[in-house]
Amino acid sequence: MSKMNWDTIQNQSDEILSDGLFTLKSRPFDNLSNLTEKGFGNYLISLDKKPFYVGEAKELSKRIKQKSNNKDE
């Protein structure tokens, strides 16, 4: 696969985001206590085994734990 430049990514952003969401939805559920990811990436939080919130973060474990403790959502 060739390198993608910013314009190409923007032109294909819907497909890229859709593929990413499909990948997140097809992964097995994981408990927050098992969370070990330290890097950046995208995440999907589920409620009653249904997609509830999708986001991105520079520090995945920190952001997901922060979202799970958020009383406003």
pLDDT digits (tens, 9 = 90+) for 3-13: 778 888 888 88
Cα angle value 37/42/46 (rounded, 5°): 90
Alpha carbon distances (Å) from 22 to 5, 57, 69: 23, 18, 25
Q: Is the dihedral of CA 63, 34, 38, 42 positive or negative?
A: negative
Amino acid present at 27: R
pLDDT (tens, 9 = 90+) of the chain, 73 residues, equals: 457 788 888 888 888 888 888 888 888 887 777 777 778 888 888 888 888 888 888 888 888 888 777 554 4
Listed by start position, the domains of the chain span 39-73
Q: Residue 32 corresponds to which tokens in the numbers above?
A: 């927050």
